[in-house]
Each structure stands twice: as structure tokens, then as C-alpha cells.
Amino acid sequence: MAFTYSDALTLDRDRVRFSIADTVSGSGPKPADANFSDAEIAGLITIEGTWQRATAAAFENLAALWTRQVTFSAGDMSASLSNIAEGYRSDAETWRKRWGYAGGTASGSSATTRADGYSDDLDCVTTEDST
């Protein structure tokens, strides 16, 4: 599994890693301190179309991964690792509200579109919500 990160944040992969706090190999946000692989992040960027939506998708994946973690107790002490999933769900929702879904637009009163197929330049168009 390849893991690369540059804090210069010049590549989309690095921007996603920075946003999801996946910047140190062996100390990632997945259960057991696992990292996303470079290939996984590249795939999310391809599927989602922008690094911002790829970040939302990464948060959604983290929520799914942490939901499966167990709740355990011993005597008067208990811990629920699955509660971590709720934080990631909230993060994903925030990113989706701002940047939207692949093939769609952001929800609410503004829509986000790429200036062209090759840049990270985004034009925000404000529209009236008819609902």
C-alpha cells in the first residue's frame, strides 16, 4: 500500500489527506490507525470529480468503517468506538452541504461547478431556493 503526503498541499491527494487528518503513515484515521492508500484517494477523486467531494466521500467511508467497531464494557467502565462514526458522519454532511455530490450540485441555496475539467477553480453561483 503506497502512502505519500506533502504538506505543500499542491496535489489533490495531499489536500484530501490534510482535510481528513491522514498525514502520517501508520497513524491514520481508519480503525487500527490505518491510512487510506494513494490508490484509494485517487479513486475517490476520480469518482467524485473534485478533491472537496472526495474528502466528503472519505469521511463517509470513515463513518462506515467506525460504525462496525464494537461497544464493550467491563464492570463500571464502558467504551463505544462506534461513536467515532457519528463525528465522521457529521464531517461528511458538512462537506456535502458545501460541495455537493458527484454528478450533482450542492444542496441549499448555492451550486458549485468546476471552471473547467482540469482546474480546482470553482465558481459559486447563488440561486434562490424554490422550496
86 belongs to a structural domain: yes
For residue 62, what is the enclosing H or E element? helix 51-67
| Sequence-separated (6 or more) residues with CB below 8 Å from residue 35 | 1, 3, 22, 25, 26, 27, 28, 29
What domain range is 46 assigned to?
12-126
Kindly report whether the global pTM for this prediction surpasses the value 0.85.
Answer: no
Q: What is the pLDDT of residue 83?
A: 82
For the chain, 131 residues long, the average pLDDT of each consecutive 10-residue run is 96 98 98 97 98 98 89 75 87 97 61 47 44 42
122 belongs to a structural domain: yes
5 belongs to a structural domain: no
119 belongs to a structural domain: yes
82 belongs to a structural domain: yes
Q: What is the largest CA-CA distance in the chain?
A: 59
114 belongs to a structural domain: yes
Q: What angle do CA 30, 103, 94 make, to 5 degrees?
A: 45
32 belongs to a structural domain: yes
102 belongs to a structural domain: yes
Q: Quick one: DSSP state of residue 105?
A: -
- Structural domains in the chain (count): 1
Cα–Cα distance for residue pair 46/58, rounded to 1 Å: 13
Q: Taking the chain, what is the end-to-end CA distance rounded to the nearest angstrom?
A: 46
